[in-house]
């Protein structure tokens, strides 16, 4: 199968991955209403086509948090992403560097901060969850600082893990012990290419950043149960003061869906936010990122950098997010699906596809620079 789009990479990943891993990447929480809205609401944003403009020189470059980028895009943090290909986060960071965009490493990545830094030639971003063990958090922040990570992305919408039915059905969640191990092993045996590449030659299969606090539990042994017992449900806005005391770089709050929360992040000294519902994987039934973004951008844009994720499947979707008010866009599933299908080459290809699609969308809406993308390129129904 020749991959020409993110949708094609989704199918390739489905064919290659053990069932429980594909379901983890592809699924959302509860009945997946928000997961569907993320895609459909963004796709419903109609752009205003303009013609006979000089679009011979289109510039996708931008600067976020003092960092020059080839396009207004970053790879979002995705837990366990490195299990989708051999030492997967290391492959992904190299693909991001080749495309001139940032890579964000998850707290619960397979590869550690130090391993990814050894694979990279430039500093990457780091995403942090609030764990119960504050001493360990201080240590992790110090590790990110020592490696020169310029941006710390603090995820705030996971005080408790969402109810992800597909993970239960697949055996990733709620199946500890021998029975769960046998179930997952059978799924692995049905995917021999993945077993050879990752399970056999991609070891160690663990969460590299938090290995010292896992107490011997493997990432597949009730992964969501481990999250629930180690993440801190008592986290509040006071946590920003704790993090600010340890971190003097750019601080981005991920998981904002309400303008009042965006304003609070501004008052407490955050440098940016990510308008996000965790890819539809936490509270089902909330607004899609596309629906939430305009009001949030109106509330805080100019005071902080506004990023957005959720439902982005193409360069056209990136332009839509920018038109709705984002300064930059994060992609999660697209790069992980491509990683699962073709490794580093797949991630690089997806980024090339997004770049090409952005150029077409900009050319046919009559804009030649990222800074010129705003709501004027969104079509208004009923206008002559």
CB contact set of 44 (below 8 Å; sequence gap of 6+): none
The reply to whether 281 sits in an annotated binding site is yes
CA distances to 37, 277, 299, 327 from 288, in Å: 6, 7, 18, 18
The reply to whether 309 sits in an annotated binding site is yes
The reply to whether 313 sits in an annotated binding site is yes
**Residues 60 and 71 sit within 8 Å (Cβ to Cβ):** yes
Which residues are known to be catalytic? 278
CA distances to 68, 117, 190, 342, 362 from 60, in Å: 11, 27, 42, 26, 9
The reply to whether 192 sits in an annotated binding site is no
Q: Give the Cα separation of 355 and 293 in Å (integer).
A: 22
DSSP string, 299-353: HHBTTBEEEE-SS--SHHHHHHHHHHT-SEEEESHHHHHHHHHHHHHHHHHHHHH
The reply to whether 332 sits in an annotated binding site is yes
The reply to whether 312 sits in an annotated binding site is yes
Token digits of residue 116: 């990814």
The reply to whether 29 sits in an annotated binding site is no
Token digits of residue 334: 């697209």
CA distances to 169, 191, 206, 324 from 184, in Å: 11, 11, 15, 42
The reply to whether 127 sits in an annotated binding site is yes
The reply to whether 27 sits in an annotated binding site is no
**Residues 105 and 122 sit within 8 Å (Cβ to Cβ):** no
DSSP string, 80-112: TGGGGSTTHHHHHHHHHHHHT--BEE-TT-SS-
The reply to whether 19 sits in an annotated binding site is no
The reply to whether 79 sits in an annotated binding site is yes
The reply to whether 30 sits in an annotated binding site is no
| Cα angle value 131/133/137 (rounded, 5°) | 70
Going by C-alpha positions, the residue among 144, 136, 139, 79 that lies closest to residue 111 is: 79
Q: Give the Cα separation of 243 and 134 in Å (integer).
A: 10
Which segments are annotated as binding site for glyoxylate? 24, 129, 164, 278, 281
Which segments are annotated as binding site? 24, 77-79, 106, 127, 129, 155, 164, 254, 276, 278, 281, 309-313, 332-333
Which segments are annotated as binding site for FMN? 77-79, 106, 127, 155, 254, 276, 309-313, 332-333
């Amino acid at each position: 199968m020749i991959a020409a789009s993110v949708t094609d990479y989704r199918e390739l990943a489905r064919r290659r991955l053990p069932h429980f891993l594909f379901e983890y990447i592809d699924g959302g929480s509860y009945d997946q209403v928000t997961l569907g809205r993320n895609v459909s609401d963004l796709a419903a944003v109609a752009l205003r086509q303009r013609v006979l403009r000089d679009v011979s020189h289109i510039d996708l470059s931008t600067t976020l948090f003092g960092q020059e980028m080839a396009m207004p895009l970053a790879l979002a943090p995705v837990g366990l992403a490195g299990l989708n290909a051999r030492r997967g986060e290391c492959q992904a960071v190299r693909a991001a560097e080749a495309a001139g965009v940032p890579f964000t490493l998850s707290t619960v990545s397979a590869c550690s901060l130090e391993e990814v830094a050894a694979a990279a030639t430039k500093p990457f971003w780091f995403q942090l969850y609030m764990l119960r063990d504050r001493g360990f958090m201080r240590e992790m922040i110090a590790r990110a600082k020592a490696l020169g990570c310029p941006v710390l992305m603090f995820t705030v919408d996971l005080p408790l893990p969402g109810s992800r039915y597909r993970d239960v059905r697949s055996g990733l969640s709620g199946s500890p012990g021998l029975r769960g191990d046998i179930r997952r092993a059978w799924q692995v045996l049905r995917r021999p290419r993945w077993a050879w590449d990752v399970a056999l030659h991609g070891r160690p299969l663990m969460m590299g950043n938090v290995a010292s606090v896992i107490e011997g539990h493997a990432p597949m042994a009730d992964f969501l149960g481990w999250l629930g017992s180690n993440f801190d449900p008592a986290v509040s806005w006071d946590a920003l003061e704790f993090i600010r005391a340890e971190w003097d770089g750019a601080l981005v709050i991920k998981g904002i869906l309400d303008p009042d929360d965006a304003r609070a992040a501004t008052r407490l000294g955050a440098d940016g936010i990510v308008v996000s519902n965790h890819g539809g994987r936490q509270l089902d039934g909330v607004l899609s990122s596309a629906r939430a973004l305009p009001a949030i951008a109106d509330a805080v844009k100019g005071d902080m950098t506004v990023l957005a994720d959720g439902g982005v499947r193409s360069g056209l979707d990136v332009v839509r997010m920018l038109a709705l008010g984002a300064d930059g866009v994060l992609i999660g599933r697209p790069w992980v699906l491509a990683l699962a299908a073709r490794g580093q080459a797949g991630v690089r290809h997806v980024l090339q596809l997004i770049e090409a699609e952005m150029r077409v969308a900009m050319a046919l809406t009559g804009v030649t620079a990222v800074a010129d993308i705003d709501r004027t390129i969104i079509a208004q129904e009923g206008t002559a």
